[in-house]
């Protein structure tokens, strides 16, 4: 059993240490994810993104992504099950990693294109020791502004499990209505209607580099519906 106090202290010290070497990012945080759907956007070299997401069963996930060289991002994430709430029997889940390579910046007529791998999973069940959502796995995604300024759409395919060889599709969009507010929607994990996920949410830009987001996931799936809250901070090193 892991002491919650010690785990929280470790997380706080980690982010405090990282932040002490970071500088405020002087532009708007690049949208690398809509909610779960990856965009073709990447962090610039010497940028880092800290993402904290809280979701079902009192779980919390910390993700850290770096712009290591131009057009390539790498990162890792760690989730803790039942971290929020009265339970003392919290469980630290296996860490995951993510990587993205932007192949094409886009043009007047063609979308930006990126390929990547995302190992993050959600909806852990302590009894079955399985996850409700499969990892995104390997994917290719395309992003382009459509119809009106501030409306960006992304679409792509992913291969969650290399053993099953099942191909999934995803699509989503975010609409920047003002400098500080945008709407987000996506249809994820499209292979059959039962397993697909409809997610809707909004992003609030507290500062250009600090984004607070709320969303509903698995809309229309009864007891599987989920509300999430996340905070993302982008810095320069």
Long-range contacts of 145-154 (CB under 8 A, 24+ apart): 146/173, 150/175, 150/176, 150/177, 150/182, 151/175, 151/176, 152/31, 152/39, 152/176, 154/34, 154/37, 154/38, 154/39, 154/40
Tokens of 201: 């949410």
| Residue in the block written with tokens 């094409």 | 104
- Per the prediction, the chain carries an average pLDDT of 86
Structural domains in the chain, sorted by start = 4-236 (2.40.160.40)
SS3 180: coil
What is the tens place of the pLDDT at every residue in 85-98?
766 777 888 899 99
pLDDT band at 232 (very low <50, low <70, confident <90, very high): very high
- Name the DSSP class of 149: T
Residue of 194 and 147 predicted with greater confidence? 147
The whole-number pLDDT of residue 82 equals 80
pLDDT band at 181 (very low <50, low <70, confident <90, very high): very high
| Residue in the block written with tokens 């919290």 | 90
**In this structure, are residues 186 and 199 in contact, taking their beta carbons and an 8 Å threshold?**
yes
List b or e across 145-162, with b for residues whose CB sees 16 or more CB atoms inside 10 angstroms: eeeeeebbbbbbebbbee
Whole-prediction pTM: 0.84
- Name the DSSP class of 85: S
The whole-number pLDDT of residue 180 equals 93
What is the tens place of the pLDDT at every residue in 3-54?
554 555 455 545 544 444 444 545 678 899 999 999 999 999 999 999 999 9
Of 6-10, 61-65, 232-236, the least confident: 6-10
Phi/psi of residue 222, nearest 5 degrees: 65, -125
CA distance 61 to 147: 35
List b or e across 80-92, with b for residues whose CB sees 16 or more CB atoms inside 10 angstroms: bbbbeeeeeebbe
pLDDT of 209 strictly over 80: yes
Average pLDDT over residues 139-148: 95
For 129, other C-beta atoms within 10 Å of its C-beta total 8
**In this structure, are residues 32 and 44 in contact, taking their beta carbons and an 8 Å threshold?**
no
CA distance 28 to 211: 9
Q: CA-based Rg of the chain, rounded to a whole angstrom?
A: 17
């Amino acid at each position: 059993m892991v002491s919650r106090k010690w785990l929280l202290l470790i997380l706080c010290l980690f982010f405090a240490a990282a932040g002490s070497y970071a500088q405020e990012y002087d532009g708007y945080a690049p949208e690398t994810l809509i909610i779960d759907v990856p965009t073709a956007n990447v962090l610039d070299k010497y940028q880092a993104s800290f993402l904290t997401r809280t979701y079902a069963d009192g779980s919390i996930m910390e993700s850290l992504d770096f712009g290591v060289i131009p057009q390539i991002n790498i990162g890792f994430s760690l989730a803790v099950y039942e971290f929020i709430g009265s339970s003392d029997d919290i469980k630290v889940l296996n860490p995951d990693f993510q990587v993205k390579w932007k192949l094409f910046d886009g043009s007047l007529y063609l979308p930006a294109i990126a390929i990547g791998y995302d190992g993050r999973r959600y909806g852990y069940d302590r009894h079955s020791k399985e996850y409700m959502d499969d990892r995104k796995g390997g994917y290719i995604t395309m992003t382009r502004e459509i119809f009106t300024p501030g409306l960006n759409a992304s679409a792509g395919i992913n291969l969650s499990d290399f053993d099953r060889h099942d191909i999934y599709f995803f699509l989503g969009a975010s609409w920047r209505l003002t400098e500080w507010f945008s709407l987000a929607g996506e249809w994820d994990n499209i292979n059959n209607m039962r397993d697909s996920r409809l997610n809707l949410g909004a992003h609030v830009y507290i500062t250009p580099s600090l984004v607070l987001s709320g969303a509903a996931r698995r809309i229309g799936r009864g007891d599987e519906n989920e509300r999430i809250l996340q905070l993302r901070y982008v810095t320069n090193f």
